[in-house]
Structure 1
């Protein structure tokens, strides 16, 4: 291993020690250090063998954070994982690991909040604006409609 590769490996280990990172994030960090593509692949291979990079672990952490902290839906999360180069099977497995009750609680919280703040000429327009807003966060429209159908119940806006 060349000196620049050793230094790159050391920097990459430090980078991966602070937070979960996927291959594409580590690759981008190493490219900024002007390492050759061969060196980058060598370093990433070492990091995977040592357990610093684990796409599955990264995906689960990413999904957990995006659902609970950023309040994203499955569709937007899948797009983000695809953009980061995570294999489809790993992304689907991570997204399917979300607790359905937590997911619905996040969706309901968003709907209540958005429904209260949206203005519309009538009830239909208000619902459509709410659906559009929440769908933009990556939630599935059938689920949005299912939860929004409870707007008639008095506890929806509590």
Structure 2
């Protein structure tokens, strides 16, 4: 195993949380393949530089708190990154139900405020709901909030 490649991989993983697949892609860029790449990944896991459960928790928590993404979008992105169902489940546990509801409520309130020039209330609500759904929030929850505003 090349110590220089291992050091580069350690630095790559120390900068931010990564998935196994992201590390494999980066090593392919460095022309490291097959058994050597898998050995390096095993070493990164052993040294705790690489942990997909930790990645999922960090990713889900930050996308929700910083970007205000809903569960659907976060779930889709975690699956796209080829994480195990266990890691995805652990990541999704980072989203508190009460906080989730309050974030969606605030998001809809702000969007409705920005749409105040739209005189037709149905169109306004539809535009706000579409916006929240693009952010990954569930349609049922969105419409419950809009009906009770």
Give the secondary-structure state (helix, strand or coil) at the position aligned to 1:97.
coil
The alignment's C-alpha RMSD in Å is: 1.4
Separation in 2, partners of 1:76, 1:21: 19
Pairing 1:89–2:82 present: no
Length-normalised TM-score, structure 1 = 0.87
Match of 1:126 among 124, 127, 131: 124
Question: Which stretch shows the higher mean deviation, 119-128 or 55-64?
Answer: 119-128
Question: Which stretch shows the higher mean deviation, 44-53 or 85-94?
Answer: 85-94
Summarize the alignment of residues 37-76 of structure 1 with structure 2, pairs less than 5 Å apart: 37-76=34-73
Length-normalised TM-score, structure 2 = 0.92
Q: Deviations over 1:55-84 (max 9, x none)?
A: 111100001100000110010001101111
Deviation of residue 19 (structure 1)? 1.5
Question: Which stretch shows the higher mean deviation, 88-97 or 73-82?
Answer: 88-97
Alignment size in residue pairs:
148
Give the secondary-structure state (helix, strand or coil) at the position aligned to 1:20.
coil
Separation in 2, partners of 1:44, 1:109: 42
Q: What is the aligned partner in structure 1 of residue 98 from structure 2? A: 101
Q: What is the aligned partner in structure 2 of residue 148 from structure 1? A: 146
Question: Which stretch shows the higher mean deviation, 119-128 or 48-57?
Answer: 119-128
Unmatched segments (≥5 aa) in structure 2: none
Separation in 1, partners of 2:34, 2:123: 53
Unmatched segments (≥5 aa) in structure 1: 152-158
Separation in 1, partners of 2:21, 2:105: 33
**Aligned 8 A contact 1:108 1:147 in 2:** yes
**Aligned 8 A contact 1:78 1:92 in 2:** no
Deviation of residue 120 (structure 1)? 3.7
